Structure 1
Amino acid sequence: MTQTPRPQVWPTLRARDARALIAFLVEAFGFEETVVYGEGGRVDHAQLDWPLGGGVMLGSDRDRSEDNPWWLPPGTFGAYVVTDEPDALYARATAAGAETLYAPRDTPYGSRDFAVRDPEGNLWSFGTYRGELRKAP
Structure 2
Amino acid sequence: MRARDARALIRFLVDVLGFEETVVYGEGTRVDHAELSWPPGGGIMLGSVRDPGGASGGDDRWALQPGSFGAYVVTDAPDELFARASAAGAEITEPPHDTDYGSRDFALRDPEGSRWSFGTYRGEPRRT
> TM-score of the superposition, structure 2-length normalised?
0.93
Contact 2:51 2:58 in 1 (8 A): no
Q: Secondary structure at the match of 2:50?
A: coil
- RMSD, aligned CA: 1.0
Shift of 1:14: 0.4
Aligned: 1:106 with 2:63: no
Which amino acid in the other structure matches residue 69 of structure 1?
R
- Match in the other structure for 2:116: 124
Shift of 1:97: 2.2
Aligned: 1:47 with 2:46: no
- Match in the other structure for 1:24: 12
- Match in the other structure for 1:3: none
Query: Taking every aligned residue pair, what percent have the same amino acid on both sides?
Result: 72
- Match in the other structure for 2:70: 78
Which amino acid in the other structure matches residue 109 of structure 1?
Y
- Match in the other structure for 2:47: 59
- For structure 2, list consecutive stretches of 5 or more residues without a partner in the other structure: none
What is the distance in 2 between the residues matched to 1:51 and 1:99? 22
Which amino acid in the other structure matches residue 22 of structure 1?
I
Q: Which among 56, 75, 86 is matched to residue 94 of structure 1?
A: 86
Which amino acid in the other structure matches residue 118 of structure 1?
D
Moved more, 84-93 or 66-75: 66-75
Cα deviation digits, residues 33-71 of structure 1 (max 9, x gap): 000000000000000000010000000011346411320
What is the distance in 2 between the residues matched to 1:66 and 1:41? 19
What is the distance in 2 between the residues matched to 1:35 and 1:66? 25
Contact 1:30 1:50 in 2 (8 A): yes
Contact 1:24 1:96 in 2 (8 A): no
- For structure 1, list consecutive stretches of 5 or more residues without a partner in the other structure: 1-12
Number of residues of Structure 1 aligned to a counterpart in Structure 2: 124
